[in-house]
Structure 1
Amino acid sequence: MKKFIVENDFWNLFPKAKIGVVVCKGIDNTIKNEEKFKKMILEAEKKALECLKNPEFSSNEVIRIWRETFRKFKTKKGARSSIESLLKRVYKGNHLNNINPLVDIYNSISLKYLLPCGGEDIDKISGDIILTKAVGDEFFVALGEDKNEPPYEGELIYKDNNGAICRCLNWRESVRTMLTENTKNAVLCMELVDENRGKEFEIALEELSKKVMENLGGACKVSILDINNKEIILD
């Protein structure tokens, strides 16, 4: 029985945060209509640009809040939240590429609602998924890389029995547990650190779940973890 657990190392830093989890079972992630997902991303990019009202990129509220968040724990120099990375690309006029349907869907939701979102293949997870501070020796090979780059001691990471699966909270994901066209069962994760956006957060999670089921079939279950509800069962 696999669990998704957020340990007190995280809650001690961010007691008012929320972690949204969407468990997707029995999906079909093969590419059937690339143009459909491309259109979905383009519409989300347009929405994101409308929300970046300050011409100085770093002064936009979502960027400022996540940079402040990353200053509260040990990070690799230059590490930024996943939502900042997406927004910076769009802000510079560079469109996101299609990756696979599930990733395209969560990227579009991430941009539309200005919330970081990532995902892992449940069947590639060993044991529980745990959000905690790193010891510093966890095995980690990032997407697009081929060598082990363990997190720093004290860095917030998602990990399982075989090492880290995402470094610096939501900065970079592991190639070991990445979502592919062969993924049948997945866990999608969305983080909220701005307590004023709780309702938007819930709407984003529900839309994410709905879009997955509409486009990829299967069944999805949405859960929200907080300081009073620190774990869920994935199976």
Structure 2
Amino acid sequence: MPESTAAEAFLNACTVEVDVFALRPDYRALLLVADGLAPAAWGEGDDVVDGLIAGAEAHARDLLAESPAEELPGIASWRDAYRAFGAKPQRTRNSLEALTRRAVNGLPRVNALTDIYNSISVLHQIPLGGEDLDRYDGPARLIRAIGDEVFGTSANGEAAIEHPEPGEVVWCDAAGVTCRRWNWRQGHRTALTDTTCNALFILDALAPVADDELHAAGDALEEALTSLGENVQVSRRLVTP
């Protein structure tokens, strides 16, 4: 998807199901498409990535020195959202909580794109996921699952297929689930890799996160992504009730 017009068409086709907004009327999704991410040029952003990771780790330590993770406002709100569709947040932690807890002892280094969005998620206390757009089949959709949808993952080091629970909130495309439990675990099929050239990023927001805070996280993400090459272009769309 190398042209901005194609990126905008994809973003305009993405949807959030009415049943999801009924579950959490305060939910908003900020979607960003970044194209022109030439992996050969990713080394140009090494200093940016290193700085973001260091800042995120320090921020997590400061936050957790003052409050338990589950009582931080953003994390507590997502715990409530998980309970609303039947998930147990103490067993399947939302991505923000999992990353914030992990950042205290050091965030994992995966690849430039993943390291960037993990860091910005912790810094802005907003769940954030990234997907390889060229592996998508149709637009992204956030739905309440029926239960027969396909989710490609791994178990005991082997490829495996799972199915979401009925009513579970999942991101999906025409080929199956791309992320379970709103922002808990991403699938293998659309995962970012060292060869990703076009990417979709999803920023999930619930109260008390305000729209300006959500857009600030999007701005930080866009700024970091454009450090990965001179031809990177970013398009975005805010999806609201």
Question: Displacement of 1:194 after TM fit?
Answer: 1.2
Match in the other structure for 2:200: 187
Match in the other structure for 1:210: 223
- Superposed CA offset, 1:86-126 (max 9, x none): 011124x2x11221111111111111111110011111011
Moved more, 110-119 or 50-59: 50-59
Question: Displacement of 1:34 after TM fit?
Answer: 8.2
Give distance in 1, aligned partners of 2:67 and 2:36. Answer: 43
Structure 2: unaligned runs, 5 residues or longer: 1-8
Match in the other structure for 1:173: 186
Matched, 1:40 2:52: yes
Match in the other structure for 2:122: 111
The 1:121/1:223 distance shift into structure 2, 3 A limit, reads same
Give distance in 1, aligned partners of 2:202 and 2:102. Answer: 21
Give distance in 1, aligned partners of 2:240 and 2:228. Answer: 29
Give aligned pairs, total. Answer: 225
Q: 8 Å contact 2:74–2:206 — kept in the other structure? A: no
Match in the other structure for 1:223: 237
Match in the other structure for 1:27: 37
Match in the other structure for 2:6: none
Q: 8 Å contact 1:38–1:98 — kept in the other structure? A: no
- Superposed CA offset, 1:128-157 (max 9, x none): 211001111111123676211111111000
Aligned residue for 1:148, secondary structure, equals strand
What is the root-mean-square deviation in Å for CA atoms of aligned residues? Answer: 2.0
Match in the other structure for 1:230: none
Q: Which structure shows the higher helix fraction?
A: 2
Match in the other structure for 1:60: 72
In structure 2, which of residues 76, 80, 84 is the aligned counterpart of residue 72 of structure 1? 84
The 1:216/1:14 distance shift into structure 2, 3 A limit, reads farther
Question: Displacement of 1:35 after TM fit?
Answer: 5.4
Give distance in 2, aligned partners of 1:53 and 1:202. Answer: 27
The 1:16/1:57 distance shift into structure 2, 3 A limit, reads closer
Moved more, 180-189 or 48-57: 48-57
Give distance in 2, aligned partners of 1:145 and 1:61. Answer: 37
Give distance in 2, aligned partners of 1:134 and 1:176. Answer: 18
Match in the other structure for 1:120: 131
Aligned residue for 2:109, secondary structure, equals coil
**TM-score, normalised with respect to structure 1:** 0.88
Question: Displacement of 1:175 after TM fit?
Answer: 0.3
Give distance in 2, aligned partners of 1:76 and 1:51. Answer: 23
Structure 1: unaligned runs, 5 residues or longer: 228-235
Matched, 1:99 2:110: yes
What letter is aligned with 1:9? D
Question: Displacement of 1:75 after TM fit?
Answer: 2.8
Match in the other structure for 1:233: none
